[in-house]
Amino acid sequence: MISKQAFAKKSDLPQVVDLSSFNHFSNEETIRYLTAFVEGLHLGCYQFSKYKSDKNSSKKNPPSNKFEVIITIPTLLKKQCDINHLLKQAQAVKESVFRARDLVNEPPNVLHTESLSKQVREMAHSLKVNCRIFGKAELKKMKMNAILSVNAGSKHEAKMIILDNFRPNNLNTSTFMMVGKGVMFDSGGLSLKSPNAMIGMKMDMAGAATVISAFEALVKTGYSSRVVAIIPITDNMTGSGAMKVNDIIQTYSGKSVEVLNTDAEGRLILCDALNYGVKKYNPDCTVDLATLTGACIVALGQHYGGLFTPSDDLAENLLVSSRQVDEALWRLPIDDIYLKELQSDVADLKNIGSPYGGASTAAKFLEQFIPEEYRGKWAHLDIAPVMESTQSQGHSSKGGSGFGVRLLVDFAYRFMNHKKKKQ
């Protein structure tokens, strides 16, 4: 095994990892450890330094960024699995995690709805997958009024990105749908955040970054079932046309929402996107990711993402994937009791509940836009607690964490295999 100091010293000699010591593990366990080792080796070396002016800074290019590793693998394991394929898969996932981290770390004057749309379109072209981007005019025709209301104060127009790996050979397979919240910068709108609370709000699109990157990883690793990614993107700003408290929005679903806090905007763009996606693609499973609530951070600290779903089976499978890739989730309640707090005197719903249990009321709000027959196939992940690593440690680097990419990839394959077994 490699010592903790193996990559801390500059050396021209390659480091050697001998997996023959794993003989007491099963092949499946050895493969899992090998994959984790390769991913962790790369992920821990990530740095976001494109805006540093000192190109020779030792902080920017530490010796540990460059290394060579020789892995000695037991002959029996070589015969029973394609090691090169395994390493390529790990490399593809690593690259997608890096994409997610890069997106989250970009400054908001560089990454906005137009520049993100361009980047995603280029990615889709290189992957040879379907990409459609709805602009403001199209969203207006579609009556995506919740997305447009959040966007009303911004100079960058709202968009909704749809990625789809549709092929004739996966038409009759199961469909896995991911939806990611993409608030490119959240000022709070007219319910303005305090200056300190606004720091880091460039990361309020971490859900979008994760979904885009997980989609990329699934395509690169040869995911054979159909996967659809829906990403609504906008700023939440304070321009002259900005959404106001007490506005009533007629959402895409037909339900009306009274706005009592313009800083509860993520659930508004998600409610339109989720309702559209479920009706359009009839998915067998839907997972949405969002940096949705500060309440989730209060509940879980910065160690777990919040998991909400009415389905015990779906929750357990997500938790298994969570443990498998070391991206921790904790299941929180989404009982009907939380729906009472969302009742409005003048509309079908209001966009916030009481000051308590905010993560659960936000999840319950989203559930109202999932048709009842699909609710047992839907899960919401509140990744506000884990969107950012506050320090570099292990496979995490300070800044955007890329949390959820590896989790979604593992879960998607688990879901696909589960559906195949049932068939």
Are both 76 and 130 inside the same structural domain?
no
Are both 23 and 120 inside the same structural domain?
no
Are both 280 and 152 inside the same structural domain?
yes
Domain that holds residue 338: 107-422
CA atoms within 13 A on the CB side of 172: 2
Residues for the chain: how many in total? 423
Residue of 94, 159, 226, 267 with catalytic role: 267
Residue 89 lies inside a defined structural domain of this protein: no
Alpha helices in 301-387 (DSSP H): 312-325, 358-367
Q: What is the total count of domains within the chain? A: 2
Are both 183 and 226 inside the same structural domain?
yes
Residue 70 lies inside a defined structural domain of this protein: yes
Q: What is the mean pLDDT of each run of 10 residues along the chain (423 residues)?
A: 34 50 57 69 79 64 47 52 73 93 97 98 98 98 98 98 90 91 98 96 98 98 96 97 98 98 98 98 98 97 97 97 95 97 98 96 98 98 93 73 96 85 64
Are both 70 and 161 inside the same structural domain?
no
Q: Quick one: CA torsion of 264, 268, 274, 276, rounded to 10 degrees? A: 180
This prediction has a pTM of 0.89
Are both 208 and 146 inside the same structural domain?
yes
Q: Which residues have C-beta within 8 Å of that of residue 362, sequence separation ≥ 6?
A: 264, 266, 267, 292, 293, 295, 382
Residue 10 lies inside a defined structural domain of this protein: no
255 assigned to active site? no
CB atoms inside a 10 Å sphere around CB 50 = 10
Rounded to whole angstroms, the maximal C-alpha distance in the chain is 71
Residue 93 lies inside a defined structural domain of this protein: no
Are both 272 and 376 inside the same structural domain?
yes
Are both 345 and 307 inside the same structural domain?
yes
Residue 418's Cβ-count burial label (10 Å; 0-12, 13-18, 19+) is middle
Query: Cα dist. 380→222, 271, 281, 376 in Å?
Result: 25, 12, 18, 12
Please give the order of strands across the beta sheet that includes 256-258: 248-250, 256-258, 349-350
pLDDT of residue 329: 98
pLDDT of residue 11: 42
pLDDT of residue 20: 55
267 assigned to active site? yes
Query: String of b and e for 267-290 (b: at least 16 CB within 10 Å)?
Result: bbbbbbbbbbbbeebebbbbbbbb
Residue in 267, 268, 249, 269 with CA at minimum distance from that of residue 258:
249
For residue 91, give the H/E element and its range. helix 83-105
Residue 104's Cβ-count burial label (10 Å; 0-12, 13-18, 19+) is buried
Are both 21 and 161 inside the same structural domain?
no
Residue 261 lies inside a defined structural domain of this protein: yes
Are both 44 and 166 inside the same structural domain?
no
- CATH value at residue 385: 3.40.630.10
pLDDT of residue 61: 44
Are both 116 and 66 inside the same structural domain?
no
Residue of 143, 193, 255, 414 with catalytic role: 193
Are both 77 and 117 inside the same structural domain?
no
